[in-house]
A = this chain, B = another copy of it.
Amino acid sequence: MSSPQLVNDTFLRACLRQATPYTPVWLMRQAGRYLPEYKATRAKAGSFMGLATNVQYATEVTLQPLDRFALDAAILFSDILTVPDAMGLGLSFAEGEGPRLARPLRDEQAVAALQVPDLEKLRYVFDAVSSIRRALAGRVPLIGFSGSPWTLACYMVEGGGSSDDWRGVKSMLYRRPDLMHRILAVNAQSVADYLNAQIAAGAQAVMVFDSWGGALADRAFQEFSLAYTRRVLAGLKRTGPDGQTVPRIVFTKGGGLWLQQMGELDCDVLGLDWTVNLARARAQVGASKALQGNLDPAALFASPEQVAAEARQVLEDFGAPHAGAGTGATHIFNLGHGISQHTPPDHVQALVEAVHAHSAQMRTRS
């Protein structure tokens, strides 16, 4: 694959802990319902899966936020449940209700039958990656992603999002840890294969979303989430088809207590939610990882001036980033979780401008 030179490589450089003239920023779920143009494309597509499985639509919505805001990375528009769907669990999205899996893993037989999916069933994702890369034409890098083995297992056992206590999946974990380990082993292999295929199709960085790792007890997190994230990372290709290093990002929502252990993962970037103090996280993790985060998405409901002030505070919490030659502690600005559908788009504008202006100004301090 021959690719145009990247015009803006600040995100990739910051992932690899190299100095950048300002702090790069992108937002989890930046292509989404808070944008009227997204809703328009979604309406044309008819359904969420109609949107996610159509290469042209997926390309269109991935690029929409970049046309509005000076974001430093694009992220593939897709859903973490494409993998369980390809495994035959039957994904659908009921209007206003979140995801549903028609055939959740409720018994030993279902768990025994689970297999790593045929990647051909996910061809639409890899085609979208290639299509988005072409459409980006080197403006900013493209991030591919997957749910973590544990987070996928949560949905695969429950059959959807939980009421709030993940009763089904945790019952299996405590009663039948053997079944849970079998699911997680299949998931880890599937996620590694899935991300490698995204890399082969052109993803320039990959992110593992452990959205529900924080629901686990200490010890259970290490055994049922972290160990399988580690397995995924061990299975990932280091470089893309153009020979460039592909940075790996791991984000565990609610994982702040396990930062020390996550700091030992074989990845480049740790994503942090808003409960984490960035200065303390930096002191704890050291310069071995870039840190990504961590504004509370609810801060975007305040006025644009207040949003800018909150953004500056997050930058100051991280402190002066590495500015010399070689590698050091770097920061990638993001929210601590996905952007809310209720966010006014002009507040995002204020956020991105404040991050760029203030972080550039921080670098001029002696």
A residues touching B (Cβ–Cβ < 8 Å)? 165-167, 170-171, 173-175, 214, 216-221, 254, 256-257, 274-277, 294-299, 301-303, 306, 310, 313, 336, 340, 342
Contact = CB atoms under 8 A, between A and B. Distances in A.
Contacts of A257: 256-257, 275-277
A352 to B, nearest CB: 18
B298 A171 contact: yes
Given A296-B170, A302-B174, A218 B274 contact: yes
A174 B299 contact: yes
A214 B257 CA distance: 12
Nearest to A302: B174
A166 B166 CA distance: 20
Given A170-B296, A254-B275, A301 B220 contact: no
| Number of identical monomers bound together in the oligomeric complex | 2
A270 to B, nearest CB: 15
A277 B261 CA distance: 13
A214 B276 CA distance: 11
Given A174-B306, A298-B170, A165 B220 contact: no
9 contacts: A167-B340, A173-B298, A174-B301, A175-B302, A175-B303, A214-B275, A217-B275, A217-B296, A218-B277
A298 B174 contact: yes
Contacts of A303: 175
A173 B300 CA distance: 11
Contact of A301 (B175, B274, B295): B175
A362 B277 CA distance: 37
Contacts of A170: 296, 298, 301
B302 A171 contact: yes
A167 B301 CA distance: 8
A310 B340 contact: no
A79 to B, nearest CB: 18
A150 to B, nearest CB: 14
Nearest to A222: B277
Given A165-B297, A167-B301, A217-B294, 10 more contacts: A167-B298, A167-B340, A174-B296, A174-B302, A175-B306, A214-B275, A216-B275, A217-B275, A217-B295, A257-B276
Contacts of A296: 170, 174, 216-217, 220
A35 to B, nearest CB: 18
Closest 3 CB pairs of A and B: A170-B298, A174-B302, A217-B274
Contacts of A340: 165, 167
Given A217-B274, A275-B254, A310 B174 contact: yes
A238 to B, nearest CB: 32
A279 to B, nearest CB: 9
A314 to B, nearest CB: 9
